Each structure stands twice: as structure tokens, then as C-alpha cells.
Structure 1
Amino acid sequence: MQLNSQRIKLNIGRTLLGLMPLIFMGALTLMTFWLVKKNTPPESSTLEPIRLHEPDYIIKNGTLSALNEQGNTKYRILGNKVTHYDDDASIDIDAPRMRLFQPDKAPVTVKSNTGHLDGDLTILELFDNASIFRPQQAATATEPASLRMLASSSYFKVLINDDIVKTDRPITLEQGMSIMNSTEGGTFDNIQQSMTLSGQVKGRIERAPRGAQ
């Protein structure tokens, strides 16, 4: 009996010894799983998906208008192609044309080859062949006569809420027969419908024809 008991113990020892690699691998697997789980941040259901800067709709020959407090049109933006982006609500415009309106004054047109309107609809940037055009206007009961005005540059920024159009790039200003140039840009005030050039200005000033003043 004592011999059989020793043989049983010996067989058990050999069996356990043979299982040691499996036990070791199992323990290592469990420890690895525990470490991975511990160092993995918990998933949050409140995380918003990443929104790519991709268009969510495109309009051909689109128009955007805004009214003033009296219900009259304050400005109107037109474009051959209007592309709206979902992530920041900004808008790209092909061939943008913006009409600025003031009571009892000639409407002003600002245009360029391409444009970008921010998501808050407060800043319109105009790129390439940008211009500001104010037609000639005869004198009225409240406003004096004004000559035709054309300001040209490669870039204009329209501050919509402030009724200001400005640039820091070279600009050419034509008013009547006069023409002036500035390398440091200028600012157009739509309320006053006046243009102020910055820096050193060169050009020629011609007297307005009689009756146009």
C-alpha cells in the first residue's frame, strides 16, 4: 500500500509539472487582459462624432438677403454657386456680388471672383478682381450729388454689421475723372459712402464737370 501511495503522489507531481506551462500561460493571459482593461479609457456615449469640413448642400444661383429694423433690404449677396459647410456653417461663393443699401443713397455693389462668408454671417471676404462700385447719383432733398466711384483691389473684407469694406492691399480708386493709388489699402464707409485711402497716395485729381457736383 505504501508503494502504491508513493506512485500516486509521483504521478500527481508529474501531472502538475506537465501542466505548469499551461497554468503559467493562463495566468499571463489574465494579467495581460487586466492591464489592457485598466489602461483603456472608458468609452463615453456623450462624445460627438468628428465633423469634417465638407459641404452639406450646394445652391446654384443662390441669394442671401438681410432686412433692417424697418423691414427694408439692408444687403443682398448673390453667387453663381453657393457652398455651405456643416462643421462651421461657413459659405464659399463663386462670383459673389453684394449689394449694400442705404436710405436715400445709391446702392453700392461689391464683387469679386470668389468669396467666403463666415458662419456668423458677419464677415464676407472677397478674393481676386475685387471691386466696390457706387454709381453716379443726382442731388436729392437730403443728399448732395455724387460722382461715380470704383475702387479695385485683389482683396476686400466686408464687415457686414459695421457697414465697412476695407483692404490692406494695393488699391486703385477712380472717382469721376480722378484716379488715385495706394499701396497700403483703404476703407470704404457705406453709411457715409466715402472712401479713405491709407499710407502714401499718388494719382491725379480732376475737377468734376459743372452740374455733377
Structure 2
Amino acid sequence: MALNSQQIKVGVLRALLGLTPLLLMGFWTLVTFYLVEKNTPQEKSAVERVRLHEPDYTIKDGTLSALNELGGTKYRVLGKKLTHYDDDASIDILTPRMRLFQTDKAPVTVKADTGHLDGDLTIMDLYDNAEIFRPAQAATETQPASLRMLASSSYFKVFINDDIIETDRPVTLEQGMSIMNSTAGGTFNNVDQSMKLSGQVKGRIERAPKGAQ
């Protein structure tokens, strides 16, 4: 029996209506899959994962040294405990002691209760009971005599490559019998081994004993 066009349209419509539930299920399945993929964090490879700031090794009674262009010691850092971090190569130091060396000058010692050395070995932060000490030095052919110097503060930042030590916190400077207090810190230049105070400065200046300068 031949089917007319009207019967064909009705049959097609019935077939489509029968498939509607399946089509809707497929549509919502795709939507659900898309939403899940969009909101699921992408798993990164081990190389791409951000490394945590956790120590990878520690050294007890450790020492770090660097040489100048002539092969002499430029500085030496000692600590009761050195903790190295893998993510940024920085080092935490317990009771750091840093010695800075200049040709024909007395070595300068910087110390504190705790310290932090950046991964590039260019900046050291010193915290709590921080001190800069330069011993007295007799006159030489190239240098005049210098008195003992002690600068103390709660914090010092050492710019290793620049031979500069700074603080923006109150600092006390003792030089010979003189003593000065600054409210806004100061800067120590290791090249000429001089200390410049900032902010409001108060204290007393004592004349050096005869023959001491």
C-alpha cells in the first residue's frame, strides 16, 4: 500500500517524539561534562607544580665563604644552624656571624640572633640583637688610626656586593668613648668603614685620648 506524504510526515514526527528523551539525556550529559571539566583544577606535572617553601637540608655549625677578584676572602658567614630551602635557594641562619674583609683594614664583624640569606647570596637580613663591630686599628702608611666602633639595633640589612649595611630602625653607635642614638637608623659603608646616622640624633661626643688617633 502506498503511503502519502501526510502519513510519512506523521511517522517521522512520531519517531522524533520517541527520540526526544534520548536527545535530552544526551544534551544534559554533555552540559554536565562541560561544567565538570571547567571547574576541575587541571592536574599539573611534577615540574609545573609550585614547590613549597620547605627545607631540603640543614647544616650544623656551617660556614659560607666568598672570594674577591684577587682570590682573598671577601666575606665569611658562620652559623650554629643553616637551613636551606629548595624553592628559592635561600638560607635561614641561627646566630649568624658575618665577617667582612677589606684590604689594609680591620675585619668588620656583623652578628645577630637570627638571619636570612637570599638565594642569590647578595642580601642578608639580621634580626634581634644585631651588631656591627669594628675593632680599633693603629695607623698605617695608608690609613689613619681608628677607634673601636660598635653599632647596635634590632635589625640590619647587609648588601653584600655593595659593602653596605643599613637599618631604618633605632640604632646606637659607640665609637671610642662617644655614644650616639638615632631614631631612624643609619648606613655603614664597609669600604671606608664609616657610619652615617639618620633622623634625630642625640648623644655625647668624647675627645679621643691623646695618641689614639
The TM-score bracket by the shorter chain reads 0.7 to 0.9
- Does residue 58 (structure 1) correspond to residue 63 (structure 2)? The answer is no
Aligned equivalents of 2:117 and 2:37: distance in 1?
47
- Does residue 154 (structure 1) correspond to residue 147 (structure 2)? The answer is no
Aligned equivalents of 1:38 and 1:173: distance in 2?
63
Would the alpha carbon gap of residues 68 and 30 (structure 1) be closer, same or farther in structure 2, given more than 3 Å must change? same
Aligned equivalents of 2:60 and 2:45: distance in 1?
38
Would the alpha carbon gap of residues 165 and 20 (structure 1) be closer, same or farther in structure 2, given more than 3 Å must change? closer
Instruction: Please tell me the root mean square deviation across aligned C-alpha atoms, in Å.
Output: 2.6
- Residues 114-133 of structure 1: CA distance to partner in whole angstroms, max 9, x if unpaired? 00111111110000000000
By how many angstroms is 1:210 displaced? 1.4
By how many angstroms is 1:194 displaced? 0.4
- Does residue 181 (structure 1) correspond to residue 213 (structure 2)? The answer is no
Would the alpha carbon gap of residues 33 and 94 (structure 1) be closer, same or farther in structure 2, given more than 3 Å must change? same
Unaligned runs of 5+ in 1: 1-12
Q: Give the TM-score normalised by structure 1.
A: 0.83
Aligned equivalents of 2:27 and 2:133: distance in 1?
78
Equivalent pairs, count? 197
Give the SS at the match of 2:106: coil
Q: Percent identity?
A: 71
Would the alpha carbon gap of residues 32 and 47 (structure 1) be closer, same or farther in structure 2, given more than 3 Å must change? farther
- For 1:35, the equivalent position in structure 2 comes to 34
- For 2:124, the equivalent position in structure 1 comes to 124
Q: Give the TM-score normalised by structure 2.
A: 0.83
Unaligned runs of 5+ in 2: 1-13
Give the SS at the match of 1:120: coil
Runs of 4+ in 1 over 2 A off after TM superposition: 23-47
The one-letter code matched in structure 1 to 2:131 is S
By how many angstroms is 1:38 displaced? 6.8
Would the alpha carbon gap of residues 204 and 20 (structure 1) be closer, same or farther in structure 2, given more than 3 Å must change? closer
